[in-house]
Amino acid sequence: MNAGLFEGRSADDRPQADTVSANGQAGGLSSDSAILLVDDNPAVAGAMQIAFRVAGRRIETASGPEEALSRLASRRFDAILLDMNFTPGQSSGEEGLALLARIMADDPGACVLVITAHSGIRIAVAAMQAGARDFVMKPWRNGDLMAKVEAAIARGPSLGPGAVAGMAVGGDASSSSGSGGAGPVGLLGESAAMQGLRDLVRRVAPTPAGVTVTGPSGSGRMLTALAVHAASAHGGGAPRRIDVRDGSAWAGLPQGPGTVILRHPDRLGEVDQARLLDRLVPQLRCIAIVDDLGALTPAMRRRIATVEIAVPPLAQREGDAVLLARHFARLAAERFARPSPRLTAAAEEAIAATRWDDEVRGLALAIERAVLLAEDGTIDAAALAAPAAPRRAEGTASAEASFDLTDAERAMIEAALREHRHNVTHAAAALGLSRGALYRRMARHGL
Ligand SMILES: Nc1ncnc2c1ncn2[C@@H]1O[C@H](COP(=O)(O)OP(=O)(O)OP(=O)(O)O)[C@@H](O)[C@H]1O
């Protein structure tokens, strides 16, 4: 927040010769190094953007914690420059320290340099204790700034007090620098439910325990599974993902140490679950996404479901729908090369009040559509009410009556599954079917 730019425009404002190599790049920073600057002061952001661009670096900016976390959820940065105050009049550094704690908890390998005023040495020390790799004092000299960023990236993560052994995504500078590895996974949301979910992920991920991820479809189960993997000992590489309903995919099951994300083991019958179990070697860490824990055989449950992580439906995440909507709006604007749109207050109210079909995925789709259709960079409530895909009315005849029995059976099964939050055992009971019979019908309808 505090002002403070360059100490005048001198030769020092340019990167110093000893930090620039023959190809014009500063020392250890590659030309595709991406830096994230988190600062709400447009003058600081503008000055830093110029400084990094002159040095041939790419830099993105975020004006506060929400935007910073959104950007960090969509890509990995080689270094993060973090201002410590974002609210006018604030100088305690608490906002910056809170954001630093969140960044380090999500990714202990993150390379963070904090930006403080000269009077902020106490804050800088607290930040270093919390895992920051260095600090930059305002006003800064561009040569020093580049050298510090370069050195911090090259140094690699240290196991500071905030770091949990085994959780760091790789232990050296190269694996933390974003080019390789799966990188951290941003599970956004500030609701108590999401904070609890992230805590559980952090506690469970470093262990070899089998984890099942449950919750409604579209709520972020795969993202949660990826977050468990990213924060685990094998988090440096992409995990194998296998939909076990596809028998031919079983050949891809790792036969040694590693992690596999198994989709839908609960959709297999008992015999196939036993066969699958035989293929899961002891050193393999399993993270499974299931609709119905009760459909797992006891043996399968013991192997893959030591801990359950239940992803809460959006309706149970106070305030998160709007935050996610802004995140998806930013992502969509980037993807479609549009200016980042603003959501009106009415649009945000509508987003918070809507029960999103298909959960987070449904919200993302509505926002993407609205971004594409937005004409003046604004998304209002009407833009969100854009035509939804025609849905069969639940339990009633659709507008265009259909007497197709296959369609009717599928509609009833879908309705029962929705009603019982994809708990197959309960849905089967409601339909008067055995679980096996329901699974067979679900398979027939591709559900
Ligand atoms: N908390 C979150 N923060 C950011 N993005 C999210 C979050 N939760 C979900 N998403 C995004 O929403 C979309 C749907 O999430 P995901 O694929 O994880 O759902 P799912 O529950 O695994 O769905 P299904 O099992 O039906 O495939 C993805 O694009 C994901 O990145």
With a 6 Å cutoff on the Cβ, whether 361 touches ligand 1 is yes
Q: What's 270's domain CATH number?
A: 3.40.50.300
Domain, as residue range, for 425:
405-444
Do both 48 and 152 map to the same domain?
Answer: yes
With a 6 Å cutoff on the Cβ, whether 220 touches ligand 1 is yes
**139 preceded by a cis bond (ω within 30 of 0):** yes
With a 6 Å cutoff on the Cβ, whether 217 touches ligand 1 is yes
Q: How far apart are the C-alpha atoms of 408 and 397, rounded to whole Å?
A: 10
Do both 267 and 333 map to the same domain?
Answer: no
For residue 377, give the DSSP letter: S
Nearest residue to 140 (alpha-carbon basis) of 154, 124, 157 = 124
Do both 125 and 232 map to the same domain?
Answer: no
Residues 374/338, Cβ–Cβ less than 8 Å:
yes
Phi, psi of 392 (to 5 degrees): -70, 135
CA angle 321, 327, 333 (to 5 degrees): 130
- Considering the entire predicted model, what is its pTM? 0.74
User: Distance from the CA of 217 to the center of ligand 1, in angstroms?
Assistant: 8
User: Distance from the CA of 361 to the center of ligand 1, in angstroms?
Assistant: 6
Domain boundary among 313, 340, 374: 313
User: Distance from the CA of 224 to the center of ligand 1, in angstroms?
Assistant: 8
Q: What's 150's domain CATH number?
A: 3.40.50.2300
Number of structural domains (the chain) is 4
Do both 131 and 145 map to the same domain?
Answer: yes
Task: Identify any residues that bridge with 36 across adjacent strands, giving them in sequence order.
Answer: 60, 80
Q: What's 413's domain CATH number?
A: 1.10.10
Do both 24 and 154 map to the same domain?
Answer: yes
With a 6 Å cutoff on the Cβ, whether 312 touches ligand 1 is no
Do both 212 and 168 map to the same domain?
Answer: no
Q: How far apart are the C-alpha atoms of 224 and 194, rounded to whole Å?
A: 11
With a 6 Å cutoff on the Cβ, whether 323 touches ligand 1 is no
Q: How far apart are the C-alpha atoms of 447 and 441, rounded to whole Å?
A: 8
Q: How far apart are the C-alpha atoms of 285 and 72, rounded to whole Å?
A: 26
DSSP 193-253: HHHHHHHHHHHHTTS---EEEES-TTSSHHHHHHHHHHTSTTTTSPPEEEETTSGGGGGGS
* Digitized pLDDT (tens) for each residue of the chain, 447 residues in all: 333 333 333 333 323 322 323 222 334 444 455 899 999 999 989 999 998 888 888 899 999 999 999 999 988 899 999 999 988 887 888 999 999 999 998 888 899 999 988 778 889 999 999 999 999 998 888 989 999 999 999 887 654 443 333 333 222 222 333 333 455 678 999 999 999 999 999 999 999 999 999 999 999 999 999 999 988 887 778 889 999 999 899 999 999 888 999 999 999 999 999 999 999 999 999 999 999 999 999 999 999 999 999 999 999 999 999 999 999 999 999 888 888 889 999 999 999 999 998 999 999 999 999 998 887 788 988 888 745 444 444 444 444 445 566 776 777 778 778 777 777 888 888 787 877 778 778 877 777
Residues 377/332, Cβ–Cβ less than 8 Å:
no
What is each CA distance from 81 to 26, 145, 146, 424, in whole angstroms? 17, 10, 11, 48
On whether residue 191 sits in a domain, the answer given is: no
For residue 84, give the DSSP letter: S
User: Distance from the CA of 222 to the center of ligand 1, in angstroms?
Assistant: 6
With a 6 Å cutoff on the Cβ, whether 352 touches ligand 1 is no
